[in-house]
Chain A
Amino acid sequence: MRITTRKRRAAGAILASSALVVLAACGGSDSGSSGKAVDKLGKTEGKVSILAWPGYVEDGSNDPKVDWVSAFEDKTKCQVTSKTYGTSDEAFNLAKTGDYDVVVASGDLTARMVASKEAAEVNTDLIPNYAKVYDFLKDQDWNTFDGKHYGVPHGYGANLLMYNEDEVSPAPTSWSAVFDPAEMAKYKGKITSYDSPIYIADAALYLMKHQPDLKIENPYALDEKQFNAAVDLLKGQRKNVGEYWSDYLKEISAFETGDSVLGTTWQVIVNSVEKAKVKAILPEEGATGWSDTWMISSKAKHPNCAYKWLDYIESPKANAQATEYFGEAPNSAEACDFASDPSFCDTYKAGDKDFASKLWYWRTPVAECLDGRKDVKCMDYSEWTKAWTEIKG
């Protein structure tokens, strides 16, 4: 069978135009949510799905010794399904699918969740354990918007500097180990960094202490000049980076094989590295960190179980189990009594205002500078994400 070119062209045109018709028909629709917090709880729905950082929702399937989900399931008859994520951006996309009733979000995500109406207002009266939470974690910029609560605090911690004790000497005390060209050169190709635009704040924090003339007040509020300085610093670091990580299992394996010997980490990773001698420090400049918030999705299909989960995870015992496993400070002084390690709260300096003041919790960078400057425009998160792909090159 022969088909002439003209016929083929005509067929192509018909196909293409029909495709456009189909496309035009698939217009988007906006889904609005009432946004009002509930007054009282109804019957539990028998299940709840949770989106969380790794190590936050453990039911014993990863490590039989680590399980605080089963107790919740027995008590409330809400079956828990959970999914973990590696970066706040990933969480944002997953949260938007509406498949998750509960989302635990760091400060660089909460504002976006609220702005895009993905998070529902939370009635803290329905969460009895909320009363026990440290006051300095309540009513913060990243969990309370326009005086309304959009979640309850989980815990807080720092992005630490981890190194392999056998390979790295002298032991680092400052972030200059991963930002100063001369110091980095010693471990060229063995340095690792967190693979997310929010990591630009780590560079800004370093510049805040080492280049005072840039006048950086807040690593999440960078005007163009400050931002470019941070990006340049990271481009210099890029030459020495062996690999970037966002999957925490990848960083564990890289440190165990010796492919990485120095870089940013979380305490939970330090605890998980078995085949290498690693140590993590809070460098003298302080560190970026996180203060996490349990939020309820505005599209939650199981809101009553979601409230039950929020109350359960706020309870001192469950909170102690979860925060101790991940390696971060718990949300209440009472939680310290439930920790398996008596020195737990000292290690993470729970309630220590001095330590907390050295931490810069992740925030979403927006054009209106977070440090209150009115005369300049700050770089917003889309500029950060764009710069991040450029830094990696």
Chain B
Amino acid sequence: MIRLLGTKHLLGHRLWIKDFPKPTKQIQIPYLIVGGGISGLSAARQFHKKGISDFLIVELENHLGGNSSNGENKYSKYPLGAHYLPLPNFQDKELLQFLEEEKIILKYDEKGFPVFDELQLTFAPDERLFYKNNWQEGVVPKEGNLISDDLEFEKFFKKMDVFRTAKGEDQKYLFDIPLHLSSKDEKTRALDKITMKQWFTDNHFTSEPLYNYIDYCCKDDFGLGIEYVSAWAGIHYFAGRKQDSTPEKHDSVLTWPEGNSCLANHLKKYTKDKSLKNHLVYEVKVENNKVIAKAFDDVNKTSVEIIANKVIMASPQFVNQYLINDRKAFTKDFHYTPWLLATLVVNDLFDNFSFPLSWDNVIYDAKGLGYVYDQHQTVNQVQDKKVITYYYSFSSADLKKTRKELYKKDKEYWKQFVLNDLKVAHPDIEEYTEDVEVFLLGHGMISPAPGFIFGEAKKQAKQNIQNKIYFAHSDLSGISIFEEAFHQGINVVNEIVDGTTVDS
């Protein structure tokens, strides 16, 4: 069985021509949230915390969660996007608070460190890499390197350790999460002007395994590889997370079979009876001191007019440019990497048994980013069938062109593409695969190409419109991670309710 699924790109494309019926219904609501991804859901939670309950969240898909959604088959849940949350930085009290509310942090120990729920931390063994025809522990190539490779790895990680703890003159971390807390240090921000590859060369690195490893890491977090990603973003991957919330300095992550859908579900409770799904908002404008939003109901094929005092656009900027006037000029600087996810049901996963199946299984020099074993976080002894999710990001110089090609290929093509990429480590995988579900995300995540994070486009896109229309989305931070979206949602509500603004 092969299925080809994806986000509702065809409905989305109707925004280009806007052939929607005239509204036949009207809704009045003080606060409207457009977009049910993590930013929108986090805004809903923050409204709740501020004692505000008269808000409505509108979502195009038939479910809330955005990139933090999941699928489920007979054997397991599996992610359809984001699938883990690194342990938060100790200073990120908002996030720690959320994790404590949801019993992901169970308590704080006598030294003040959070105690994470053992069942939600990645079980051991967490990572393995297929390198030089062997599975080895961890994703850093180790066994089989040249001595010169090992020395470069050592040098590289030392540099990252320095970046991780270094602060600028403003006493802020050079690299922090959320990103806007990072130092304004000019020299560091200049790194956003060059690619990670440039930085690699400038720092006299030459090792191929190191190059591949950094390329893998960049794609993992940003979709873009070392050739195209901003060096500031590339370094942020390693230095942004302080690994300071456990006494052992763990770099482990929290994960669930359904991926970050678990976190989205925690947030969804704040939107009970306050959400409108299958609704595509196609126009938002200020009129008579109110915001008028028009939405198309994809189930009943009718349109609705929503009249709100304030609107939070928790939708990505490539969508917003079609809803609100005068946004196309700066939106063209927002680039989004397409992603492909393939969830496979396999009877077995034979390999050469050099290191056991782990949560994250990476194949060195493969096209994709490897696969996640979706049942890893279960306590069972045995599984009838194994469910794995393969990740592939379309890193390229021309993402638009890539996206067009993505939708041209059929499911058989993608199935073969995925299997061929996995065959390096699992030669028999095709024989053992009984089901493949391919999920395409045309605009998978915002891509921090050089100049974007500290550029003008982002700054302009963030500006609220007449204190009526506000913007909150991870693409406004520049990197697509849970923490950014989570803070975007909180900050926008604080701005609306308390009038506080977050500088950047």
A, B from the same assembly: no
